[in-house]
Amino acid sequence: MRVYFDNAATTALDPEVLKEMYKVMEGQFGNPSSIHSHGREVRTLIERSRKTIANLLHTSPAEIFFTSGGTEADNTAIRCGIVDHKLTHAITTKLEHHAVLHTLQAMEKAGVIKLSYADVDGNGNVDYDHLETLLKDNDRSFVSLMHANNELGTITDLQKAGDICEAYNAIFHSDTVQTVGHYAHDLSKLKVHFMVCAAHKLHGPKGVGFLHVNHKVKINPMIYGGSQERNMRGGTENVYGIVGLAKALELAYAEMDEHQRHIQELKSYMIGKLKQEVPGVEFNGEVDPSKSLYTVLNVSFPAMEMADMLLFNLDIAGISASGGSACSSGTDIGSHVLTAIGANPDRPSVRFSFSKYNTKEEVDYTVNKLRELCMVNA
């Protein structure tokens, strides 16, 4: 049996998305910046896709800008948001994706900003009181808090964080890569200035995403070279990808309730099976469904002789997952997220992440293999 439990890294392309993309690939090849009919046809596809996405998110098409994915969108929001608004202070957590963390740290190293870290608890929950203290004690700030942690699944309350940021006139960016298409975002109500999407996290194609820029903030392009995306991002648009992204998001919203129920059932089932079959197993991050991303489960296994071989052995058994352990020293290449929440570096951890295509039979197979591996290495 082959099992794919690494959907937080990337998801399988939905056949309906592929069909939609193929229709464009087969017959509509014009450059969308060209004024002739071939170009205008393709321009229409892009704007129709933009409108579809904007309608689903309850925002204006003028606030959606297509990018090459989440990393570019995060970089654009952070670099341009800080520089164009002349901010000298930023706040984040040590749990952020490297697209955010490394960008902010590079700007601090260059002397552009002073960087502060909001406290988090042992499950990865943001300390909102500390966030408010940091905002109160510093100049106007740029705040970046991810909606759901890609390793732990712990969810940030965007409404609460947005209210706090608004009270101190801060610019608020959220990396929403793990949650767009899995939760409904109403941008007419959320007090977020920037949010991002990567299509391949919701059964769309790789190499395309979008950045939402609230009309209340204005930024200059990060990439120059053309007037594409209303002068906000130079470069010929990834038309096939954009069409695929819009179709993937449309399908995600249409099937959202059904998929949430199915995947949450799988996650809960796996938690129960692991507790039953693998002695000493623990879970990193929030397990409470109301506070945790239903697609992600981070599991900590008892210390074992061959801890660094656990993922390799799962792979040999046909099971794809990801993980690692907390760093035990400054030279270790481990998980910065697990280190930040104080996880035990002697215990190997595995992130299992689910999609609509996974089954209980796959969970049973995986748990049986894990039980065998833990018994052999005990």
Set 80, 165, 197, 327: catalytic member: 327
Q: Is 80 a catalytic residue?
A: no
End-to-end CA, the chain: 25
Distances (CA, A) of 305 to 69, 346, 350, 366, 367: 39, 10, 16, 20, 19
CA nearest neighbour of 181 among 89, 239, 241, 256: 256
Tell me how far apart the alpha carbons of residues 204 and 356 are, in angstroms, rounded to a whole number.
Answer: 13
Q: What stretch of H or E contains 47?
A: helix 37-57
Q: Where are the beta strands (DSSP E) in the chain?
A: 3-4, 64-67, 89-92, 114-117, 141-144, 171-174, 194-198, 209-213, 282-284, 296-300, 319-320, 322-324, 349-353
Tell me how far apart the alpha carbons of residues 222 and 76 are, in angstroms, rounded to a whole number.
Answer: 6
Tell me how far apart the alpha carbons of residues 164 and 39 are, in angstroms, rounded to a whole number.
Answer: 45
Instruction: Write out the catalytic residue numbers.
Output: 327
